[in-house]
Structure 1
Amino acid sequence: MIVNIEIISAEMRREGEKGYVGNTVYRTEGEKSVYEITFMSKNGKDWDYSLHFTEQSGDEDELLRMDELLENDDDVYNQLLDAALEAYPA
């Protein structure tokens, strides 16, 4: 399944010894909700994430479907992570 992603904003920063923290705000084609995924990594290679709505609370089932998509579709996940990484000031 191909999912079209519209990236609204992205950022990445280093927080001292804690490592890297970044986020990407986005929406998917056909969805009303806007999501924010926050990425966290101590070494800049192994990433954890947290997903939530940005503007207001939405349908929990919608959020669970998006989380499942991120878990199962590496292309979507990597597109969002790459957007945050590209925003990191070199």
Structure 2
Amino acid sequence: MSNDLAQRTSALRTQTRRPSRETTPVVAVVAAVADAAGTDPLELPPLGNAIDPEALNDLVDPERSAGLESIAFEYAGYDVVITGTGDVRVNRSE
């Protein structure tokens, strides 16, 4: 994870979303970015262009933290940070 990206993301106004038992981390990320962009989630590029969706779902568990602090990546023009417990923060990339 880039410290610069994490610092920029935490310093900006963020949109936060948490996956539930019915919502995977991948779905939470796509929904948060779509909300921030004001668009339909189906209009966004595939998340797989930015990060491996299966790996993201395997690493992030909304029910517990397995020692993973956070993952940061860029997706569809947004900086995304998702914590090990599933909190998703989204900010427009600079």
**Is this a same-fold pair by TM over 0.5?**
no
User: Which fold has the larger relative contact order, with Cα–Cα distance below 8 Å and residues 6 or more apart in sequence?
Assistant: 2
Q: TM-score, normalised by structure 1?
A: 0.31
TM-score for both structures, normalised by structure 2: 0.31
Q: Which has the higher helix share?
A: 2
Considering fraction of residues, name the structure with more strand. 1
